Structure 1
Amino acid sequence: MFNIAVCDDMKEITAQLVQIAEQQSMKQIQTVKGFYSGGQLMEYMAKNNVDLLFLDIELGDMTGIDISRKIRKEDHNDTMQIVYMTGKEGYERELFDFQPLNFLAKPLNEAKVRECIAMAYGKWTVRKHKFYYRKSYQVYAVSVGRIISFETDKRYILMTTTEGEERFRATMEQIEEQVRHHGFLKINQAVILNMEYIRQFHKDRIQMSNGKIYYTSRSYQKEAQRTYLKFMD
């Protein structure tokens, strides 16, 4: 089920977001929890899964940046999506590495909040899908949301995930068929990338969240740019 958490030291903001989320017409929303401090939030996340977090950047006890670093260090749900909230500007650059879903300015716009929830929910439903592969006569499954990239490795496919790497026999055509509608981008004959993990997108090269750089073939550049811009919208 889809779980939402809100953390803001302004109680009226937390109450507003909890109310909006609870009214969202999505049957799979299971819990909506509100917190007034980073400490409360981290205590809750130590025992519970959070799929979407609305996080105030300027909390009293911790900044949103501090919390984001702790979330990454303590290996919480790596598919969690974060929407940062602030009454000021200028935090986007500092928070870019955490791949935020969005930024919301205060006072909050209810329509934009609902839009963020719908966007996160849509991405979450995609991430629930499984990618299946065969290795040593066994069939394995991994959530597509945990896959960073596929690339050819001689007669094998090298799959990089948030947990590590796997090599197995398959063709790029077979890979494409499974991930076609799940946010993946083919940038040349040998590489398919999960757009969720793209950190920097240039016309001829792409840097992923794990730091690896891939190069886009000239014949793929226009279509890759069009697909990525559509994904970002």
Structure 2
Amino acid sequence: MLKIAVCDDDEKICNLLENYINDSCRILHIEAETESFISGKVLKRKLREGENYQIYFLDIELADDTGISVSDCIRNEIKDEAAQIVYVSGKDGYDRQLFAFRPFNFIEKPFDQNMVTATLEKYNRIYGKKNDIFHYKYGHDMYCARVSEILYFKSNGRKVKIVMQKSEDEFYGSLEEVCDKLKGQGMILTHKSYLVNYRYIRSFQGEQVIMVNGDVIPVARGRKEEIARMQLHFENGGFAHGI
């Protein structure tokens, strides 16, 4: 589920942009939820409380704040380097400060449906589907990992261990939440404590699978039939369409 935040101090523009985003997501078959803010300070307070979004549509000049201040909160305060920022402005030129926050795109007012759809289509092309980015939080910091580089996840109490090609990490959460985020990305739940990336399975051996790095992952008895079905699905090209 893609989470999108919209922030503009003009409520009519905020609602219009949210409607365009929702319509664009339907057109592009993107599962998303959008939340609107008419106050930059309210959005920042929510971020400090632990909320986070994958895309921000920010008005540069707000009545009670600025898009620069909100961007600084995203990048430097909650340290979310993975989120994408889209600036929305009626100005012809842009403050050089904005580029320090690595904006994904700029949309000029007055905007239309096509401009919003083009922005989300670009995001989906780069980060969606096979190129999806997995976002996770540890402490107050946000991190991201490419799904194509993740070997597997292992649940360990309240924490989840993520094993990647060149590194390992962990974060607070549940394997169920990870499954929901990565639905359609070629992941197989072999056991209540393991979610593995089909790309990196070297072999299936009865009650276990061997990963390309040599790690042995258990397969629950009740999952054997489902895993065999998924294996056949992937081998017949189903992986390209997700499952």
Per the shorter chain, which TM-score range? 0.5 to 0.7
Shift of 1:88: 1.0
State the shift of 1:27 in Å. 4.6
Matched to 2:52, the amino acid is N
2:45 maps to which residue?
Answer: 43
CA drift at 1:76:
4.4
1:15 maps to: 15
User: C-alpha deviations, 1:160-210, integer Å up to 9, x for none?
Assistant: xxxxxxxxxxxxxxxxxx9xxxxxxxxxxxxxxxxxxxxxxxxxxxxxxxx
Provide the C-alpha distance between the structure 2 equivalents of 1:3 and 1:19, rounded to a whole number of angstroms: 15
Aligned match of 1:141: 164
Alpha-carbon distance, 1:62 to partner: 1.1
Deviates more, 1:62-71 or 1:115-124: 115-124
- How many residues were matched structurally? 143
Deviation at 1:39, TM superposition (A): 1.1
Q: CA deviation at 1:92?
A: 4.8
Q: Which residue of structure 2 lines up, in the alignment, with residue 119 of structure 1?
A: 122
The structure 1 residue matched to 2:149, chosen from 114, 128, 131, is: 131
**Equivalent residue in structure 2 for 1:108, among 111, 131, 148:** 111
RMSD: 2.8
> Which amino acid in the other structure matches residue 6 of structure 2?
V
Rounded to whole Å, the distance in 1 between the matches of 2:31 and 2:52 is 13
- Secondary structure at the aligned position of 1:31 is classed as strand
Name the counterpart of 1:207: none
Which is further off, 62-71 or 38-47?
38-47
Q: Residue type matched to 1:33 in 2? A: E
Say which of 60, 63, 74 aligns to 1:60: 63
Runs of 4 or more above 3 Å deviation: none
CA contact (8 A) 1:50 1:77 kept: no
Decide which of 24, 32, 38 is 2:34's aligned counterpart: 32
Instruction: Tell me the CA shift for residue 15 of structure 1.
Output: 0.3
Inter-partner Cα distance in structure 2 for 1:6 and 1:103: 14
Instruction: Say which SS state the counterpart of residue 3 (structure 1) adopts.
Output: strand
SS of the residue 1:91 aligns to: coil
The TM-score with structure 1 as length reference comes to 0.54
What is the CA deviation profile of residues 26-72 of structure 1, one whole-angstrom value per residue up to 9, with x for unaligned ones? 55433101100111211232332201110000001111111111212
User: Structure 1 residues 28 and 77 mapped into 2: Cα distance closer, same or farther (>3 Å)?
Assistant: farther
How far apart are the structure 1 equivalents of 2:46 and 2:29?
23
**Which one has a bigger Cα radius of gyration?**
2
Give me the whole-angstrom Cα distance separating, in 1, the residues matched to 2:42 and 2:101: 21
- Identical amino acids, percent of aligned pairs: 33
2:37 is aligned with what amino acid?
A: F
Residue 81, structure 1, aligned to residue 104, structure 2: no
